[in-house]
Structure formats: C-alpha cells, structure tokens
Amino acid sequence: MKTFSAKASEIQRQWWIIDAKDQILGQVAVKAAILLRGKEKAIFTPHVDTGDFVIVINAEKVRVTGKKEDQKSYMSFSGFVGGHKTENLGSRRARHPELLVERAVRGMIPHNRLGRSVYTKLKVYCGETHPHSAQQPQTVALK
C-alpha cells in the first residue's frame, strides 16, 4: 500500500460563502480556516494547498460573546519609538470590520509560506454583495 500525496496541479477548488450575520466570530473563523486549508477533503495533504476559496459576507454583523466588545484589545507596533498602538474590538469594528474576521482566520492557519498562500484565498466583505457571483459559490451552514 502506498501513501497518497496530492499534487497541487490536480486539485479541484470550490468556492464557499459564509454569512457571518449573527454568527460567533470564532465559529466563523474556524469554519473558514478548515475550508481554506482543505482539512475536510479526503485528499488532504499537510504540505500542499488542497483548500478551497472562501467568501465571508456581513463581516460587520459578526457577534462576540461576553465583554469582548469592550475588553478585547488588538495591539500593533510600528518599530519606532512611541509606535505602540492599541484599540479594542468595538473601535476596530467601527474603523475596519473586515479585519476582525481576517485576523481571526489568519491566526488559525500555518504561519509559513503555505499559510500565506492559503490566506490569499480568503475574501471578506462588509455587506451582502460580493463580486464573485460568477464562481457560483455554495453556502456553508454553521451549526
């Protein structure tokens, strides 16, 4: 018996759409990361990008539990003196709501070259509309 290893040129990619309206941020990110990585496929190979494209709509209407809206903080550092910036989830949602889903998914995929190529297949949009209707994406139902 030989071990099967998927080849990047033979992978059939699908398009999936996740509606984040009134869904918990972590559950949306987990489902998106699994689809992007291809872990639900029978041909999953850890060192090959076997995943599909994922579209997340209504990113501004994603839900968080507890007091995360006020207490969860995002930190960035520019590298310069005094370049430390901190903002909470509520202010980030007001400024750039797509970043909530994008950064949650980014933390769930590998932090290497493979992860960077997987991350490019994630498309996040604020409203109901998206420019990928020609790809005929299938909807994903979260639990």
Average pLDDT score over the chain: 96
CATH number for the segment(s) 14-65+96-139: 3.90.1180.10
Write the CA distances from 20 to 10, 32, 86, 100, 131, integer angstroms.
31, 11, 25, 11, 17
Q: Give pLDDT tens digits for 67-117.
A: 999 999 999 999 999 999 999 999 999 999 999 999 999 999 999 999 999
What's the mean pLDDT in 24-30?
97
Q: What is the pLDDT of residue 49?
A: 96
The reported pTM is 0.92
| Dihedral, 5, 9, 10, 15 alpha carbons, nearest 10 | 110
Q: What is the pLDDT of residue 97?
A: 96
- Asked if the model's pLDDT at residue 126 lies above 80, the reply is yes
DSSP code for 48: S
Give me 58's structure tokens.
């209504």
Q: What is the pLDDT of residue 1?
A: 79
What's the mean pLDDT in 30-37?
98
